[in-house]
Structure formats: structure tokens, C-alpha cells
């Protein structure tokens, strides 16, 4: 391939694969297929690190913790935490936390209560989730406490030793994309707002916190450039990461924003789209491949 400035540089061999989980690596039934397990193991064996980069909290990572080889690290909470999934007996430890400051969280709650009446909130801390009475019941785990968000974020709430990873905001009537656009306009630069759910559920992190930003920090610590990263995703919370990585793939089931941000496309999560690309990458590395 050539450009106006002469021959284009050959792409660098990938050193790290960064993949979202829900709607991307995981099938819709929240399992990892045998084909995908084999592809992840083959990538690690070939010297390519695999990082799971997800909006999930660390306590929801059991489904993939056995498939983080060597380093044991994952990026959780849309970049709010780097977690060593093998860091404690039967559990995990937080390696890095990029919190949403309590006062910023309170500002966001106040703004959204005015901008989108009917919004209910949950507060995700390093020690668990806490939510308001009107917040929809959680599928995976019960709340540690139930109270108005202002009380959950109060300085004297007894949780000061647990940083806020993100605030979640749910609206019962607005469409997901309309709620996201409204919230971003109302909140401005006070926080980072994205979404990964098919419902009107927003995920609110500290200003500038994203999957891409925290992945960039992890890669810099390892001397890995963006050009050496292959990323996979399917939803608006993956957009920055898909743009940052040297090569990126939106899933066949991806949101239009993810498709627009990625440099390539693969098949759906239920068709093992991540594994398909990893297999192609490893095949291209073999001697004599064309």
C-alpha cells in the first residue's frame, strides 16, 4: 500500500489484545465458548498479552478470571480500576483506582435530577454497590445498602474508605441514546458519561476516565504503543478504546457508534468474532504465511 508520502509503513505485530466482555467476548448467555478460550490461550502462548477491558465491576469477573494468563490483570468499571484477578486468595485486589470524587458525584446527581426527572441512581464503590429504592433490581448481586444517592455519597455515610468507581443513572422512559445525549450536555466536563446496557442506564466516571485512558496507562508501563494493540468492542463505552488502538474491530452486533470508531469489523459475539480475528492474527505470524 502506498500514500502521498511514499510507501505506507507495514503494521506492527500486535503485542496486546484488548477486549470488551459483554456483547463482545462473551456470548449472549454470558459464557466464553471453547473456541474463544482456545484462541485466548494461543495468543498468550504466542507472547501476546490479553487484557479484558470492561464496564463490569471486579466481582463480576469470575466468568473470565481463569482466562487471564500470566499477568492476571483486567481493566474494570470502564477504566476506573485496574484489578489483579489472581491477586488474593479466592479473590482480587485493586492495583490502580481512578475514582469519581464524591463532590463531583453529588453535582452530577443534582444536575440529572433536574435535567431528567425520574432518574434513579446507584453508587459503585470498590467494596460493592449501593442504590436508591427506585433503582431497578440488580441481576448479579444484591446492594450493600439502599438509600437516596445523596445519603450514599455523604461524607459521613461510613464508606469514605471505599472510593467511588462510578455512579449509575437509570431512566424508566427515555431511550438509551437520548438519555446519554441529554446527560452529556447537562453535565459537561464534570464527569465522563457513557453506556453499555440496552436499557437507559448510564455509567458515570471521573472526568477523563475511560477504557482507552486506563488501557493507555497499562500499555505505557509495558512499553507497548497504540500501534501494537488490537481492540474489540460493541457499545458506546468502547468508542474511545476502538479509536485509540492501532487496529480495532466492532462486533457484528455492535452499536453504530462503535462501528464508526473501529478500523475493522468482525462477526457477532455469538459467532465468536473475537476468536475469528485472533486466529487470523496468529495464522499471519506463522512462517510462510501470506
For residue range 160-213, what is the model confidence (pLDDT) as tens digits? 889 999 999 999 999 999 999 999 999 999 999 999 999 999 999 999 999 999
- Percent of the chain residues past pLDDT 70, beyond the cut: 90
| Residue range 41-65, pLDDT digits in tens | 999 999 999 999 999 998 888 877 7
Whole-angstrom CA distances from 107 to 25, 114, 181, 201, 262 are: 35, 11, 18, 18, 33
Confidence of residue 7 (pLDDT cuts 50, 70, 90): very low
Confidence of residue 71 (pLDDT cuts 50, 70, 90): low
Q: Where are the alpha helices (DSSP H) in the chain?
A: 34-45, 62-65, 102-115, 149-152, 176-187, 211-221, 239-244, 256-261, 273-285
Residue 152 CA to residue 106 CA, distance in Å, equals 10
Top-level CATH class of 102-205? Answer: alpha beta
φ, ψ of residue 48 in degrees (nearest 5)? -100, 120
Q: Is the pLDDT of residue 272 over 80?
A: yes
pTM of the model: 0.90
* Domain residue extents for the chain: 12-97+210-285, 102-205
The number of residues making up the chain comes to 290
Element (H, E) at 53: strand 49-53
Q: Is the pLDDT of residue 4 over 70?
A: no
Q: Collect all residues with Cβ–Cβ distance below 8 Å to 69 and sequence separation of at least 6.
A: 40, 41, 44, 50
Which of 157, 144, 150, 185 has its CA nearest to residue 59? 144
pLDDT band at 8 (very low <50, low <70, confident <90, very high): very low
Q: Which pLDDT band holds residue 18 (cuts at 50, 70, 90)?
A: very high
CATH superfamily of 12-97+210-285: HAD superfamily/HAD-like (3.40.50.1000)
List Cβ neighbours of 186 (8 Å cut-off, separation of 6 or more). 111, 112, 114, 115, 116
Amino acid at each position: 500500500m502506498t500514500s502521498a508520502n511514499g510507501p505506507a509503513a507495514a503494521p506492527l505485530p500486535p503485542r496486546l489484545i484488548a477486549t470488551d466482555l459483554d456483547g463482545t467476548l462473551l456470548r449472549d448467555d454470558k459464557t466464553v465458548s471453547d473456541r474463544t478460550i482456545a484462541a485466548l490461550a494461543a495468543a498468550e502462548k504466542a507472547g501476546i498479552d490479553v487484557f479484558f477491558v470492561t464496564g463490569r465491576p471486579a466481582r463480576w469477573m469470575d466468568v473470565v478470571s481463569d482466562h487471564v494468563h500470566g499477568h492476571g490483570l483486567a481493566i474494570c468499571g470502564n477504566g476506573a480500576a485496574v484489578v489483579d484477578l489472581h491477586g488474593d486468595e479466592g479473590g482480587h485486589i485493586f492495583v490502580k483506582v481512578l475514582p469519581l470524587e464524591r463532590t463531583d458525584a453529588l453535582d452530577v446527581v443534582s444536575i440529572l435530577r433536574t435535567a431528567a426527572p425520574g432518574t434513579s441512581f446507584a453508587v459503585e464503590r470498590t467494596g460493592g454497590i449501593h442504590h436508591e429504592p427506585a433503582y431497578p433490581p440488580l441481576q448479579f448481586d444484591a446492594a450493600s445498602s439502599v438509600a437516596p444517592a445523596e445519603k450514599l455519597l455523604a461524607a459521613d455515610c461510613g464508606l469514605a474508605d471505599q472510593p467511588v468507581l462510578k455512579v449509575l443513572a437509570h431512566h424508566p422512559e427515555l431511550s438509551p441514546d437520548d438519555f446519554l445525549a441529554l446527560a452529556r450536555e447537562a453535565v459537561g466536563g464534570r464527569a465522563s458519561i457513557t453506556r453499555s446496557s440496552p436499557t437507559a442506564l448510564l455509567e458515570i466516571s471521573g472526568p477523563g476516565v475511560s477504557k482507552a485512558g486506563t488501557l493507555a496507562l497499562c500499555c505505557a508501563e509495558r512499553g507497548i504503543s497504540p500501534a501494537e494493540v488490537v481492540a474489540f468492542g460493541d457499545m458506546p463505552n468502547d468508542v474511545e478504546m476502538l479509536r485509540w488502538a492501532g487496529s480495532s474491530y466492532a462486533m457484528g452486533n455492535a452499536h453504530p457508534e462503535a462501528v464508526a470508531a473501529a478500523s475493522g469489523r468482525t462477526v457477532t459475539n455469538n459467532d465468536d468474532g473475537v476468536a475469528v480475528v485472533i486466529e487470523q492474527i496468529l495464522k499471519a505470524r506463522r512462517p510462510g504465511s501470506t
